[in-house]
Structure 1
Amino acid sequence: MGVEEELLVVGADGVPVPGGPAALATAARRGEAEDVDQHDRADRGEDAGVPDDARLVPELKAQQLELGTPVCSTLGEVHDQLRHWRDRADAAAVSRGLRVAALGTSPVAVDPVPTPGERYDRMLDAFGRTAEEALTCGCHVHVSVGDDEEGVAVLDRIRVWLPVLTALSANSPFWQGADTAYASYRSQVWRRWPSAGPTGTFGDAAGYHRLVRAALATGTVLDEGQLYFDARLSATWPTVEVRTADVLLRVEDAVTLAGLVRALVETAAREAGAGTAPPDVPSEVLGLAAWRASRSGLGGDLVHPRTGRPAPAADVLADLLGHVGPALADAGDQARVTDGVHALLARGTGAELQRRVHRETGDLRAVVRAAVAVTAGTDAAEPDAGGSR
């Protein structure tokens, strides 16, 4: 498995700053990053000469950068790699007088600045204000599968649980200086992209690829990389990629998410092997479940994947843990992931921490400063979790 995180680049005053390309240029000199020119050349299919261990890359907006772990086998490795690459991203930003923050959206008002590059220019031209205003940070989890047939069998069976992952990761309550009343407003902004959201069942790999071809044939998206389904087959790696989460404020919460995603994939693969049919839930109902998860996070009812009815978030998470329990146990992850879920229920998501800081200070810039500290692991809000139990 592997994890990708998008981070905000911010100044000392808490305002996002278009310093991502400069920070990445510093990191590229250390062999840790693709700079903007390398990334743009790679998108055009040219040899950019990127070091194999470069794990920091540009994003759509210059107020962002992205990190990605190498392939990991254990949650302890995921933790250590996320901690390492968050530190390297922060060090690159510090070299330019800036910091990074794991926030799904900016709490303070900001004018997004596009990252230079041919692909990003095409996106801005094609999608107008949707691309202009998009300054959101997500977390994507990749889990390996044997082939496309297994991958599609997994996609068909995990789709009903994906809104629960949105609720668990909620970390974007503020937008342009105001409280949105959502726990994950990033999810609402993200749904503006034409291909974003839940999908129906595909049946088999041929059905998945037919849909991909049909979507590309509309000319609405630039390429397969812009098929922003909630979960998809990676076009680059032999993985299922789950894309519904906000970037999580705490490293350990990202580890919990990764453990749940891997267990969901393994459980789905076992169900498919046993001939268990995927749940028959319309994508329209999944869209409603996703909206509800975005609205309340873990602070209210969620739509239960098994019943389609509202249920307390704690009950839904308990049923999720039960659903994936054998896979967690077989991977040696059960104690760590169960404790991680209980910790989220007890102290709240990143959205709840952001609102708590705002209530205490009345200052959205203080919210960003608190997020910088937690992202860096220097705040007591993040537990010490340096390896597998």
Structure 2
Amino acid sequence: MRTVGVEEELLLVDPESGDPKALAAPVLARAAKDDPAQDVFEKELFGQMLEFATHPQSDMEALGEEIVRCRKEAARHAGEIGCAVVALATSPLAVSPSLSMNERYRWLAERYGVPTWEQLVCGCHVHVSVDSDEEGIEVLDRIRPWLGVLRAVSANSPFWQGRDSGYASYRSRVWNRWPSAGPTELFGSAERYHRQVADMVATGAVLDEGMVYFDARLSARYPTVEIRVADVCLNAETAVLVATLCRALVETAARDWRAGRPAPDPGVSLLRLADWQAARFGIEENLLDPATMRPVAAERVLRALLEHTADALTANGDAERAEQGVRALLRDGNGSRAQRRLMEETGSLRDVVRACVRHTQG
């Protein structure tokens, strides 16, 4: 059974005002003091962000427990220095980000200018194990049409700099300002993939392989496919659903490749439109059907995803979990819907952040 690991980025905020706070360094120092060998928490581009990574898990219940545990540990470390963590993909309140000081991040700021300073956004990256780079590329080629659906499921960033953005996942619109971000064409082979990445680095527009920000890519560090489209999810249960669907998509794609089924080939222009539609509306309106690239009700597309991955979900023991997760998502909504509901109830973005802090901490 394929293993799955999750990386989540969290915002650090003032627990009373909800304002983002650049306190990542002291939070990490506190975590290191508690456990000098800890390798779970890491700094990110800005001081208002904290990242953690789970261990590879084959059991989704265990993965969910680890996500919850890491969130609680992050909250404990943050609370000890007077701040809080919150699983929001953008700050609802206006913020001036504080760049983390290292050579890599300074290069980003000098090279890209203003777009770098707009990247205070928090994602959820899902790593799914693959047997080889060749299998990984065949997987990447076959999951392309479904990545927008994962974006819609995870959408958790409706507010930006103190106002409603009009999007369910505005984080994705900000993230796609990087020149190497977004969907990709078919690669066809691991050799072609690595050649394209090397050519991109050779242009000097990106520093290294780690700055090739495809929506899904081969991990440079692990024997995994890294799926990078998801917002960090307000609910840990939604993060587990995203991870469950990612593993099922990877397994389905690998089976299709081994069976000799060709990869679907919607053009990058259509994939960009599908991604925009998912970011704009989340699961509230139509998505573009991955099979036809025509607008279809979000519920039908989610049902089609469950049907497309049914054999893999069953083989992994995840069919019931995925069905229940999709049903709950359609009933209760994702983080974007929850944030807007809170705003309607309270009329205050600060109250939205405070409520989401309590939710993140369980």
TM-score (structure 1 length as normaliser):
0.91
The amino acid that maps onto 2:175 is: W
The amino acid that maps onto 1:79 is: G
CA deviations over 1:40-91 (Å, ceiling 9, x no partner):
xxxxxxxxxxx3x420000001000001001111101111110111111111
Q: Which runs of 4+ in 1 moved over 6 A?
A: none
Q: Does 1:56 align with 2:41?
A: yes
Q: Is 1:107–1:175's contact at 8 Å kept on the other side of the alignment?
A: yes
Task: Select the residue among 27, 45, 50 that pairs with 1:23.
Answer: 27
Task: Select the residue among 11, 17, 23 that pairs with 1:13.
Answer: 17
Task: State the alpha-carbon separation in 1 of the partners of residues 117 and 42 from structure 2.
Answer: 20
Aligned to 2:294: 309
Aligned to 2:169: 184
Deviation at 1:189, TM superposition (A): 0.2
Deviation at 1:373, TM superposition (A): 1.2
Q: Is 1:358–1:367's contact at 8 Å kept on the other side of the alignment?
A: yes
Task: State the alpha-carbon separation in 1 of the partners of residues 55 and 33 from structure 2.
Answer: 20
Deviation at 1:125, TM superposition (A): 1.1
Q: Is 1:82–1:251's contact at 8 Å kept on the other side of the alignment?
A: yes
Query: For structure 1, which segment, 176-185 or 122-131, has the greater mean C-alpha deviation from structure 2 after superposition?
Result: 122-131
CA deviations over 1:178-221 (Å, ceiling 9, x no partner):
00110000000000001000000100101111111111111001
Aligned to 1:125: 110
Aligned to 2:243: 258
Q: Does 1:267 align with 2:271?
A: no
Task: State the alpha-carbon separation in 1 of the partners of residues 187 and 348 from structure 2.
Answer: 47
Q: Does 1:77 align with 2:80?
A: no
Q: Does 1:134 align with 2:138?
A: no
Q: Does 1:201 align with 2:182?
A: no
Aligned to 1:325: 310
Deviation at 1:170, TM superposition (A): 0.3
Task: Select the residue among 332, 346, 354 that pairs with 1:369.
Answer: 354
CA RMSD of aligned residues (A): 0.8
Task: State the alpha-carbon separation in 2 of the partners of residues 103 and 30 from structure 1.
Answer: 26
User: Tell me, what secondary structure is at the counterpart of 1:302?
Assistant: strand
User: Tell me, what secondary structure is at the counterpart of 2:101?
Assistant: coil
Deviation at 1:31, TM superposition (A): 2.1
User: Tell me, what secondary structure is at the counterpart of 1:165?
Assistant: helix
Aligned to 2:282: 297
Task: State the alpha-carbon separation in 2 of the partners of residues 83 and 180 from structure 1.
Answer: 29
The amino acid that maps onto 1:89 is: A
User: Tell me, what secondary structure is at the counterpart of 1:236?
Assistant: coil
Task: State the alpha-carbon separation in 2 of the partners of residues 117 and 67 from structure 1.
Answer: 19
The amino acid that maps onto 1:212 is: V
Q: Does 1:169 align with 2:146?
A: no
Aligned length: 358
Task: State the alpha-carbon separation in 2 of the partners of residues 308 and 358 from structure 1.
Answer: 33
The amino acid that maps onto 1:30 is: D
Percent identity among equivalent residues? 52
